[in-house]
């Protein structure tokens, strides 16, 4: 991927955050919030953000297709081609439940993938302005500074486990296995926040049941390029278009192995 894509993409995210997302924060009418499914919210800001991002990203790289969360909600067949060819992957507001409730965290995430391989990713926190980005083979950055993932250093590794899309039986088993080997903390219900926490030494391990591309494409690349480890539960790479469930991320390969042995086997 040409490295000169970073600045125009970053500018596009910041424009949409300033002109679309933040004006709606804590300023949504009741009829501007709805549920796509149980506990899965969408707002007018999500829809407007995706339209603006799709327009702006298409102008930056016209040959790439668009795989957007809200477009896929309206037409699930779009997701069928997510692993084919060159595509922008858009999460117009990640953590919509938090956003709709008027509380942090939430973020905007964009990735570029080719044939399912993630080439680049961007994660913007509209509240703080923090921008995480990664380029395949070229590392991870926060606000332009190269970063390396680090472990928390806690006596027991810190685990934030997103188990709410698991079956009750799966959830109970993972929590049982985790309780004596990890310090369990609440999840932010926002992948745009969870992945930076794994890089910045706040959390050591996260597990995800649902692995839709807009939630994980940018974050998995960011964590892996920073020297952490994010893979499928069987140790295979995460690829856009692979609709299997289950993803495990850790701040180091050592902790990934520990978590896989403890939680999954």
Numbered residues of the known binding site? 69, 91, 93-94, 215
* Binding site, annotated residues for Mg(2+): 69, 91, 93-94, 215
The helix (run of H) or strand (run of E) holding residue 261 is helix 253-263
Beta strands in 44-184, from DSSP E residues, in sequence order: 65-68, 86-94, 107-114, 117-124, 131-135, 139-142, 145-147, 158-162, 183-184
Contact, 13 vs 122, CB < 8 A?
yes
Hey, what's the torsion of the CAs at 252, 117, 194, 28, to 10 degrees? 170
Hey, what's the torsion of the CAs at 94, 95, 96, 99, to 10 degrees? -120
Closest by alpha carbon to 19, among 45, 56, 57?
Answer: 45
Contact, 198 vs 206, CB < 8 A?
yes
Tokens 């993932």 identify what position?
149
Rounded Cα distance, 131 and 111, in Å: 13
Residue 97 dihedral angles phi and psi, to the nearest 5°:
-60, -40
């Amino acid at each position: 991927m040409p490295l000169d894509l970073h600045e125009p993409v970053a500018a596009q995210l910041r424009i949409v955050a300033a002109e679309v997302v933040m004006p709606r924060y804590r300023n949504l009418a009741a009829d501007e919030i709805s549920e796509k499914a149980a506990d899965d919210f969408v707002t007018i800001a999500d829809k407007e953000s995706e339209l603006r991002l799709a327009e702006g990203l298409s102008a930056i790289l016209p040959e790439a297709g668009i795989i957007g969360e809200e477009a896929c909600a309206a037409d699930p067949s779009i997701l069928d081609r997510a692993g084919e060819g060159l595509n922008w992957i858009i999460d117009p507001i990640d953590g919509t439940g938090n956003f709709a409730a008027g509380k942090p965290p939430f973020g905007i995430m964009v990735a570029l993938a080719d044939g399912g391989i993630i080439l680049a990713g961007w994660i913007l926190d509209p509240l703080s302005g923090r921008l995480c980005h990664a380029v395949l083979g070229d590392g991870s950055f926060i606000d332009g500074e190269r970063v390396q993932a680090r472990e928390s250093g806690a006596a027991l590794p810190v685990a934030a486990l997103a188990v709410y899309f698991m079956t009750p039986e799966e959830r109970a088993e993972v929590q049982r296995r985790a309780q004596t080997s990890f310090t369990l903390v609440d999840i932010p219900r926002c992948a745009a926040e969870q992945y930076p926490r794994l890089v910045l030494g706040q959390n050591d391990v996260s597990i995800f049941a649902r692995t839709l591309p807009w939630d994980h494409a940018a974050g998995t690349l960011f964590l892996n390029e920073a020297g952490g480890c994010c893979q499928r539960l069987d140790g295979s790479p995460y690829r856009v278009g692979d609709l299997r469930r289950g993803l495990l991320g850790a701040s180091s390969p050592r902790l990934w192995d520990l978590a896989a042995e403890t939680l999954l086997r």
